[in-house]
Chain A
Amino acid sequence: MTLELLIRIVPAATGGVAWGILGGALPGISPSITMALLLPFTYGMDPTIAIVMLASTYVGAEYGGSIPAILLRTPGTNAAAATVVDGYAMKQQGRAGEALGISLYSGCVGGLFGLAALVLLAEPLSRIALAFTPPAYFALGILGLSVIASLSQASLLKGLIAGVLGLMIATVGTDPVTGQTRFTFDRPELLSGIPALLVMVGLFAVSELLVQVTEPGWEGATERPRIVFPSRATWRRIALPQLIGSLIGTLEGLVPGGGGSVSAFLSYNEARRWSRHPEEFGHGSVEGVAAPETANNTVACTALIPMLGLGIPGSNSAAVLMGGFLMHGLLPGPMLFAKDPNVASGLYAGLLAANVAMLVVGYLIMRPCMWLVSRPKPYLTAFIYALVVSGVFAVEGSVFHVFVVLGFGMLGYVLRMAHVPVLPMVLGVVLGFMVESNYRRSLVLSSGDHMTFVEDRLAAGLLVAATLVVAASLARQVASRANRRLENLTT
């Protein structure tokens, strides 16, 4: 790779990251859409620069999704849903700047870890992607759902109800095996199901707006948060959640179709399990922000492993990047390293530059972002509302989706009043299709024999892991209740 190319890679990576952060921060504009919007503009560029710009957009978008998640309780991307919980709680405590700083720093750590995995292990790790059969995908979905017990906060029963509601919502649309329509009520907009992002925006953002408007004495300006970077003690505290997020993110990146959401939730759960302060989770824990943000930014790099190693796009965003490769006459896969080594090494250098640029661009936009959220509340509420309905319409260009989001907003508000945790519901929606489609495909392939889930070693291992996660969560809840009873008796 020439020095001239290296010098051109840095501004391309910076521009891609800035574009990605903008797209990721707007609800409804997914990382893949942000990349697709950029694709035509890269047509006339040098292939390496074009690929770097697209990959950097992916990196920026994964971080960008956390900005509205923390400041507005609106996940910009699906993968940022887990960040909402503690990120927004920190914002409510006047620690928005700290949450954004941790998110940015953790995203950078995750991105660099993912890049190292990509560079060192692309070829051997890509073979794991081939081991994922329908039973293994089903088991992965069950492992994701096993987190519900842990996300249910005070009431396991209500959490389970919310989880089942999410699974029910995921059945809306066209049946994954037979093509039969279900629960669509003759609405063509429902044929492809209810996008998870609509459910999240409704449950998180619109319900929060409704809570805000009912609160008394809120007409004045909100407090102006300051940017706070993690202290040395915080760095030490979030090191373990970052490692957990990096490892889980690396594994999920290898799974074609993973997408970052499962790893974010699993990392959040594992970070809580290993934390010395599990009681802070859900109430503004720095570890609760660090783990999912590290995970989803790790995925932004490791999702490229199946594409570079095997020529299989592991996610929607990787598919758009693959389109960029093909548009420039490049064929991603094992031969890329032999035929176009400059492009491969340029991509690695670009991803490194993108993760560093993310720190700079992320820092620069923090101040205007926080200025925006400290405007007088009537204006702020009106602008969040406008952002939500604009972003929702952008998903598929459908007014019907605006009404769907408002409906989920009302549902989210009622659930909050009834003290029902909404995160299990989100998890059900995100994983419902994956669980059902792969469960049924597995049975079709095995002629209805359920032993296929045991005979497939990867599936069996994941199901055992899911059982352990549930058992650990239940044991923790039982121990916590016993402690509380003991405290009540002694006082």
Chain B
Amino acid sequence: MSLDLAFGVAMLALAGGYYTIAAAIPASFLDDVVGPAGLPKTYSFILAGLAAVQVVRALVMMRRPPTRAVQPAGRALGDSRIAVTLGIGITYGVVLPWLGYPASIALLLVATAGYLAGGFNRRIVVVAVAGGAVFWLVFVWLLGIPQPEGIWTSGR
């Protein structure tokens, strides 16, 4: 299956799922002429129509001889570095409320830089710790943006 065809099929499925949820929005006595489900349903019909054209076009293109080199999109999507990079971000979100902002951001820095550089060393750790301090200074101390303090303040 080509990426264009997969995209078209995914959009058709999305339009169907979105319509199902939109149709389940309960009616209210406050409803206006259009209602809260009105435009979402319209959007799902438009998306379904466009996605159907995309599928047909992709099927037609598959029958034609390729005019350009096929890009290795499937391989790129399966690249483990993407999963690990996203995993680092997700882990940051999970540990942030417990570890607090400075420690979590330093861990994100050391994990990302160390993983992408192919190994950990003292310099990476030092840069990450200094970076964590700089981020804390800018966001919390200078701008006054509240960030989680984590377990370090639980005893107060």
Contact = CB atoms under 8 A, between A and B. Distances in A.
Contacts of B93: 389, 399, 402-403, 406
Interface residues of A, number: 58
Interface string B93-119: 100110001000100111011101110
A397 interface: yes
Contact of A382 (B22, B81, B109): B109
B145 A394 contact: yes
B79 to A, nearest CB: 5
27 contacts: A23-B143, A157-B53, A158-B7, A164-B43, A165-B14, A167-B43, A168-B44, A178-B32, A180-B28, A180-B36, A183-B21, A213-B85, A385-B109, A386-B112, A386-B131, A389-B105, A390-B105, A390-B147, A393-B96, A397-B146, A399-B97, A402-B96, A410-B82, A413-B82, A417-B73, A417-B77, A440-B39
A341 interface: no
B69 interface: no
A444 interface: yes
B108 A386 contact: yes
Interface of B: 3-4, 6-7, 11, 14, 18, 21-22, 25-26, 28, 30-40, 43-44, 46-47, 50-51, 53-54, 57, 71, 73, 76-77, 79, 81-82, 85-86, 88-90, 92-93, 96-97, 101, 105, 108-110, 112-114, 116-118, 124, 127-128, 131, 135, 138-139, 143-147
B148 to A, nearest CB: 8
A439 interface: yes
B53 to A, nearest CB: 6
Contacts of B79: 213-214
A444 B34 CA distance: 9
Given A219-B118, A383-B131, 4 more contacts: A171-B40, A383-B109, A390-B139, A440-B33
A177 B85 contact: no
Interface stretch (A92-100, A343-351, A373-381): A373-381
Contacts of A20: none
A210 B32 contact: no
Interface string A66-100: 00000000000000000000000000000000000
